[in-house]
């Protein structure tokens, strides 16, 4: 079973900030939280990874509260090309090299 729960879908408009929240109530001490993006007929692509607090890179920010039972992916000023499925995952197994079990993901639709 997937260790994460996300909203199935979200709609947004170009230029808006999008926040997708993921629940992972049973996250283990060694688990990292990683978000992936998938376009149709392509493999998932890494977006961002974090363990606690806040992580920011050139495409997104990841907010993780102290209890680590949830996380929020923040996409600033989305564009039409950000329309995709977003998956929140926690690694299963020791360290950060265990198998990844995908949940249903969040389908983000960005409208003009």
Partner 1 sequence: GAVVSQHPSWVICKSGTSVKIECRSLDFQATTMFWYRQFPKQSLMLMATSNEGSKATYEQGVEKDKFLINHASLTLSTLTVTSAHPEDSSFYICSAWGSRGAGITEAFFGQGTRLTVV
The contact set with partner 1 (CB under 8 A) reads: 32, 34, 36, 41-46, 49, 87, 96-97, 99-105
Report the C-alpha gap between 80 and 83 in whole angstroms: 6
* CB within 8 Å of 73: residues ≥ 6 apart: 19, 20, 21, 22, 35, 47, 48, 60, 61, 62, 86, 88
- Residues 40, 61, 71: CA angle, nearest 5 degrees: 85
Find the distance separating the first CA and the last CA of the chain, reported in whole Å.
Answer: 36
């Amino acid at each position: 079973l997937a260790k994460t729960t996300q909203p199935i879908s979200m709609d947004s408009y170009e230029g808006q900030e999008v926040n997708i929240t993921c629940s992972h109530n049973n996250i283990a001490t060694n688990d990292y939280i990683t978000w992936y993006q998938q376009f149709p007929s392509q493999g998932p692509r890494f977006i961002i990874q974090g363990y606690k607090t806040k992580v920011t890179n050139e495409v997104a920010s990841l907010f993780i509260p102290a209890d680590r039972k949830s996380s929020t992916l923040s996409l600033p000023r989305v564009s039409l090309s950000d329309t995709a499925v977003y998956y929140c995952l926690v690694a299963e197994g020791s360290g950060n090299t265990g198998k990844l079990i995908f949940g249903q993901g969040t389908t983000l639709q960005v409208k003009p």
